[in-house]
């Protein structure tokens, strides 16, 4: 029996196009060539030159790359999407996948700061066991005890259940039945999560309905796993080889970056990223943690958020 096509999604803007090229190359070189992969990039205005360049480099019959401008879907909402530091509003686009693609029943969303070490089809085929989504417990949060009160008090999720949304396996049929997009938009009207933004909304909405996956599928450079090789490396927060040297898995990144369509541009980005910029990005991560600690101490607001989010979720049961 013919195996189903693999539906992969990304959200990107012009700033991250070079790194998307690295991710795509790693997926293509580690894939099962007997399977068919459909790769869809959600955006709101990537330059036509970038679309052509990536399409020419990667698109083929069983590795089909398409770009989807979702401006019409999000244009009335963008002003309500909270962002901080180097994050952009494109991080929210994954939340619209279920309703944007009603013909699909399953999807795997991947951030663009990722390199695959194993065939992503193995992750895509994972049984979600009736859950809305599958994801890996966030390695950063698990490694920083001062963040536990934030995820437990502000988000309302047990810290060992709080997942990173950069690798997100989605049961689209189940998400539509749960009216996920409608729940998110109602929550957005009344609650603003300012630390991990869309990831916090996902964790709250999918609480107790996420299957936690093997952390080999979302290995973070500064929080290396000890139980075997990584299958996917996620260069999250300020752990980016195109910003600074000496990071774990940097050689893996450059092995793909130097053969990608944007090799010269990525090397130029690294060469121009000064020690001052490195300091700023590290301070941004520190500021994220300080903000989380402060918010966890606001018992009144935490109680309001718990009440509001519970009411919204209960209304959709």
- How many angstroms separate the Cα of 172 from the Cα of each of 7, 77, 109, 168, 186? 11, 22, 11, 11, 19
The pLDDT assigned to 83 comes to 45
The pLDDT assigned to 237 comes to 86
The pLDDT assigned to 213 comes to 96
Contacts with 83 (C-beta within 8 Å, 6 or more apart), sequence order: 89, 91, 197
- Find the angle CA(9)-CA(13)-CA(16) to the nearest 5 degrees: 90
The pLDDT assigned to 189 comes to 87
* pLDDT, averaged across the chain: 91
The pLDDT assigned to 78 comes to 55
The pLDDT assigned to 315 comes to 79
The predicted-structure confidence for 6-15, as pLDDT tens digits, reads as follows 999 999 999 9
The predicted-structure confidence for 135-169, as pLDDT tens digits, reads as follows 999 988 988 889 999 999 999 999 999 999 999 99
The predicted-structure confidence for 234-256, as pLDDT tens digits, reads as follows 999 889 999 999 999 999 999 99
Going by DSSP bridges, is the β-strand pair 163-171/106-110 parallel, antiparallel, or unpaired? Answer: antiparallel
The answer to whether 253 and 235 are in contact (CB under 8 A) is yes
pTM: 0.93
| 3-class state of residue 239 by DSSP | coil
Among residues of the chain, what percentage have pLDDT more than 70?
92
**Where residue 77 falls among pLDDT bands split at 50, 70, 90?**
low
The predicted-structure confidence for 113-133, as pLDDT tens digits, reads as follows 999 999 999 999 999 999 999
The pLDDT assigned to 84 comes to 43
The pLDDT assigned to 1 comes to 60
The pLDDT assigned to 75 comes to 65
Give residue 236's region: left, alpha or beta (phi > 0; psi -120 to 50).
beta
The answer to whether 285 and 221 are in contact (CB under 8 A) is no
Average pLDDT over residues 269-284: 93
The predicted-structure confidence for 188-216, as pLDDT tens digits, reads as follows 889 988 888 889 999 999 999 999 999 99
Domains of the chain: 6-314 (3.90.550.10)
**Where residue 87 falls among pLDDT bands split at 50, 70, 90?**
very low
Give residue 197's region: left, alpha or beta (phi > 0; psi -120 to 50).
left
The pLDDT assigned to 79 comes to 53
The pLDDT assigned to 71 comes to 84
**Where residue 25 falls among pLDDT bands split at 50, 70, 90?**
very high
Average pLDDT over residues 64-84: 72
């Amino acid at each position: 029996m013919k195996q189903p096509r693999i539906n992969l999604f990304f959200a990107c803007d012009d700033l991250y196009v070079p790194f998307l090229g690295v991710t795509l190359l790693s997926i293509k070189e580690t894939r099962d060539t007997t399977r068919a992969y459909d790769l869809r990039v959600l955006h709101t205005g990537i330059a036509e030159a970038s679309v052509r360049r990536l399409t020419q480099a990667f698109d083929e019959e069983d590795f089909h790359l398409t770009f989807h401008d979702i401006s019409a879907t999000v244009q009335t909402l963008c002003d309500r999407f909270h962002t901080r530091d180097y994050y952009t509003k494109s991080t929210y686009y994954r939340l619209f996948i279920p309703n944007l693609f009603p013909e699909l029943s399953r999807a795997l969303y991947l951030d663009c700061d990722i390199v695959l070490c194993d065939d992503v089809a193995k992750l895509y085929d994972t049984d979600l066991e009736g859950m809305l989504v599958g994801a890996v417990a966030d390695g950063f949060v698990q490694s920083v005890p001062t963040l536990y009160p934030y995820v437990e008090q502000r988000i309302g999720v047990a810290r060992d259940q709080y997942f990173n949304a950069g690798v997100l396996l989605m049961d689209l049929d189940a998400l539509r039945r749960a009216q996920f997009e409608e729940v998110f938009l109602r929550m957005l009207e009344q609650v603003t999560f300012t630390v991990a933004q869309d990831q916090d909304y996902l964790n709250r909405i999918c609480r107790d309905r996420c299957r936690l996956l093997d952390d080999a599928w979302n290995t973070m450079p500064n929080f290396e796993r000890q139980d075997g090789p990584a299958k996917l490396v996620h260069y999250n927060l300020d752990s980016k080889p195109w910003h600074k040297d000496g990071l774990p898995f940097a050689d893996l990144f450059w092995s793909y970056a130097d053969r990608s369509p944007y090799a010269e541009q990525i090397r130029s980005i690294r060469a121009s990223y000064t020690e001052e910029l490195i300091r700023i990005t590290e301070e941004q991560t520190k500021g994220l943690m300080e903000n989380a600690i402060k918010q966890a101490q606001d018992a009144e607001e935490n109680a309001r958020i718990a009440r509001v989010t519970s009411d919204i979720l209960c209304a959709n049961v």
